[in-house]
Structure 1
Amino acid sequence: MSSHHIVRDDQEPALIIANGAACSNELLGQLLEWSPLVIVLDSAIERVLELGIKVDVLLGDFDRGFDASHYREMQYPIEIVHTPDQNKTDLEKAFDYLYERNIPAVNVVWATGKRADHTISNLTNMVQYREQLKIVILDDHSKVFLLPKKYEKWYPVNTPISLIPIGHVTGIHSENLFYPLTNDSLTIGYRTGSSNHVAADGIVKIEHDEGDLLLMECFD
């Protein structure tokens, strides 16, 4: 797989490669092509190197006998970022790193699948970075991101869309969804907006008053 392009001024999202289930080479290649910065979590580095990807930043707690000089030689130039804080996941630390570098947006792959606890944590942890980063988590079947209070986007008819609350979300209104929501509330574990779909080609509008709401664009 070819290395990524360098995009000036970080106008395109950075890319984080975590250590969950791999996505397709097609999806990974599309994201790499326009990513100005590629960050790999230490637990995934060997898998990434096998694909021939140029890595800009290797980040993690390096708790498995890590040899920094080995990767510096293989991936020169590369930034090695040691983040030993055990109160945060390596993905959270990567988000912190991007915020400190004033990079406003990031795509994340290999963050779902494999261990269910990691998948749930990776999806729900987006909430705490609402004000710092625009985060999109992608795999071969879904694109997941946190909604602003008002959201509009054009979609083709029958696009599967799920609305998943993180906690309790109130005052939800939608337009152009097959199952409309009108001043509805959703609560994780009790009622969610999964398996909805776009009613007709056109703009979908979603608004909510309070709470944190994930949108999942799904691909069967």
Structure 2
Amino acid sequence: MHALLFANGEVSEREIRFLSKQTFDLIIAADGGARHALKWQLRPHYVVGDLDSITDELREQLQGTQFIHRPSQDLNDLEKTLLFCQEKGVNRLTLLGITGKRLDHTLTNLSVLSRFDTVFDLTLLDPDGEIFFVRNTFYYQGRIGQLISLVPLFSAEGITTQGLAYPLNDESLTWGVREGLSNVIVQNPVRISLKKGLLMVIAIYPEHL
């Protein structure tokens, strides 16, 4: 089951245009992410979280939406929503609003998602590109000349790439030591594999998108 999840970060028209190529079985918002869903006329089936961002006016606009109140302060609204998606049998997630606004929120959201990358097939969309979590082998069909960055979380070993201008051959990337910023696609599909750790792959949207 493929679900679209709105978090409460930044969402731009660019990601919404990107979504026009896809269909979803469910649309779910993590608390304040419901405002993004409404703005882009993508009414959520469910809103999950402590619901402290849901005003009476917003509830009125979301008639027909089910509100799932999860008051625990031990988890943030994104993690509550991911657990709800797991309960609903979702196995593929496209997420918007994960990045932007406060840096602490962005980093926390990425940390939370790194705990769920083995539960869901995750694709994050932000105003600059697509973000994927990779633990073994990953293929990406991009455009020649498109930028792609490899960021370790927090260590990734035995990385080998094909289709990039600056290839890696059984090499390691480590947070605070070495990153793989702004590589370039020269052949499709791009293949990225690693033997150990977790790698965040960020594919920057082509300029004309």
Q: Which TM bucket (shorter chain)?
A: 0.7 to 0.9
Distance, in Å, in 2 between the alignment partners of 1:185 and 1:206 is 12
What 5-or-longer segments of structure 1 have no aligned partner?
A: 1-9
Distance, in Å, in 2 between the alignment partners of 1:65 and 1:146 is 31
Give 1:31 deviation, angstroms: 2.6
Q: 2:101 matched to which residue of 1? A: 114
Verify the 8 A CA contact 1:123 1:137 in the aligned structure 2.
Answer: no
Q: CA RMSD in A?
A: 2.2
Q: How many residues align?
A: 205
What 5-or-longer segments of structure 2 have no aligned partner?
A: none
Give 1:115 deviation, angstroms: 0.8
TM-score using structure 2 length: 0.87
SS state of the match for residue 177, structure 2? coil
What letter matches 2:164 in structure 1?
A: L
Q: 1:63 matched to which residue of 2? A: 52
Q: Check if 1:21 corresponds to 2:7.
A: no
Give 1:102 deviation, angstroms: 1.0
Aligned pairs for 1:1-220 (under 5 A) are 10=1, 13-24=2-13, 27-28=15-16, 30-31=18-19, 34-63=23-52, 67=56, 71=59, 73-200=60-187, 202-219=188-205, 220=207
Identity %: 28
What letter matches 2:168 in structure 1?
A: L
Higher mean C-alpha displacement, 209-218 vs 57-66: 57-66
Verify the 8 A CA contact 2:156 2:172 in the aligned structure 1.
Answer: yes
Give 1:29 deviation, angstroms: 5.4
Q: Cα 1:218–1:70, aligned 2, differ >3 Å: closer, same or farther?
A: closer
